[in-house]
Structures are given as C-alpha cells and as structure tokens.
Amino acid sequence: MNQLDFKGRHAVVTGGATGLGFAIAKRLIDSGGSVTLWDRDAAGGARAAAELGAKFTQVDVADAASVQNAVKQAPRIDALVNSAGITGPNTKLWDYPVDAWRQVMDVNLTGLFLCCREVVPVMRAAGYGRIVNIASVAGKDGNPNASAYSASKAAVIAITKSLGKELADTNIRVNCVTPAAVKTAIFDQMTPEHIAFMLSKIPMGRFGTPEEIAAMVGWLCTEDCSFSTGAVFDLSGGRSTY
C-alpha cells in the first residue's frame, strides 16, 4: 500500500459505518489522519468507530437540522467525503414507486447538498478543504432499471463540477469518483439480475474492491491534490473511460 500523507488532518466521512465509507475512513486513518464517521445507523456507526479508532456522530444526511448539529460537533473538518447513498429498487421507470424515487434523491442528492452547504463555510473560514463526492458510472452511462440511482449520481457529478468552479479561487478542492460496481453491503439492495448486468459491463471482468476506491479517494483528500477541482475520476475497470 502506498503511503498517503494525511497527517494532522481530520475528515468527515458520511455513510462511514460500512462499505466504501468504512474503507475510506480506514485509509485516511492509516495515512496519519483522524476521522469522524457520520451515519444514521447508531449501532453500526459506534461499532465501526470503535474498530477504526474514529469518532462517530449519528446523522441523517437528508435532514438539514441533523447535518447542522453534526457540523457543530466536529472538532475540525479538513476533508469531507460524501459516501452515504442508497440504490433504490431495480425496476422500470414507469413502475418506479414515487416514494422510493424521493428517498433515493433525498439521501444521494439532497443529503450531499446539505453536507456541502454546511461544511463549505467551515472550510472557507479555515482557508483550506478537500471535498470528495462518491458518484457512480451509473451517473455517466445510465443503468437500466435504476433510473433514480442513475439520475442522482449524474446530479452528483454536476454538483461537483459546479461547486468546484465556485471554490476554484480558494484552497478548497472539490472532486468526485465514479466507481463501477463494488461488492459491499449495498449489493443487498439489488437484484441478482442487476448485479450480473453490472459485472457484464466491466472490461476487467471483476468488481472493484473498497480498498481500490479508498486509495483514490484518500489521495483526493490530501494536499497533493492541488490542481484538480471539479473533476471526475474514473474507477470503473475500464467501463466508462470518459
């Protein structure tokens, strides 16, 4: 494992109790930093924090007051990784439940917006920050039977580009990554058919690992990431190289 330099820095990782968020938090801690996990799962978040040696705050990212309160509790925020997300059901758009559509948008899009909205002023006051948003190749390509997820991740890419430009004259960098499917607990929300479809689209013929995603995200959280902002970094095993 290459050594990243995150010494003396503190990150907030949303959705940090499991999956990509947990792996990213571990990579940042292994790189010399400290982390606060934000997750709505109180028991899971506490277990993850104890295992990592991190802090934990129970947060519903889709609730503005919850996010505001969490920011007030944070000791400092040098980096924000927006990893919290849900897939929603795998079904045709014309059969998609309206409540499920709203839930996906609330977590994946509005939640990310609220976290950025509250954290950016903290970073601006400090004169430094790194924001990394977890998007998806679905936001580039549009996966069938996943219209809400695909739309929400396309919006994450767009917000990354917009906010990156808004903050380009500061020392805050905003980037996103677009992983192909990574085998985590989020697979439990998908049908076997949808999982097989995603695998069939990856030229490498395998799913990514959380550690591979964490390696790129970890670098984007460091000071070395100084001239990239509003950028989209491919992590798709060759699927979406644009």
Mean pLDDT across 34-59: 98
Report the C-alpha gap between 143 and 201 in whole angstroms.
10
pLDDT in tens, 29-44: 999 999 999 999 999 9
Residue written as token pair 């990579």: 27
- Are 55 and 35 within 8 A, CB to CB? yes
pLDDT in tens, 134-189: 999 999 999 999 999 999 999 999 999 999 999 999 999 999 999 998 877 777 77
Residue 97 lies in a domain: yes
159: DSSP letter: H
CATH code at 30?
3.40.50.720
Provide the pLDDT for residue 200: 93
pLDDT in tens, 224-233: 999 999 999 9
Q: Of these residues, 96, 128, 149, 242, which one is catalytic?
A: 149
Residue 229 lies in a domain: yes
Provide the pLDDT for residue 143: 93
The CA-based diameter of the chain, rounded to the nearest angstrom, is: 50
Active site residue 149: yes
Residue 156 lies in a domain: yes
Residue 242 lies in a domain: no
pLDDT in tens, 211-222: 999 999 999 999
pLDDT at 241 over 90: no
Provide the pLDDT for residue 197: 87
3-state secondary structure (DSSP) of residue 211: helix
Residue 153: give the domain boundaries: 10-235
Residue 1 lies in a domain: no
Count of residues making up the chain? 242
Residue 4 lies in a domain: no
pLDDT in tens, 73-89: 998 999 999 999 999 99
Report the C-alpha gap between 60 and 124 in whole angstroms.
24
| Strand ranges for the chain from DSSP E | 10-14, 34-39, 55-58, 79-82, 129-134, 172-179, 231-235
Provide the pLDDT for residue 183: 79
Residue 82 lies in a domain: yes
Residue 2 lies in a domain: no
Total number of domains in the chain: 1
Report the C-alpha gap between 156 and 88 in whole angstroms.
16
Provide the pLDDT for residue 43: 98
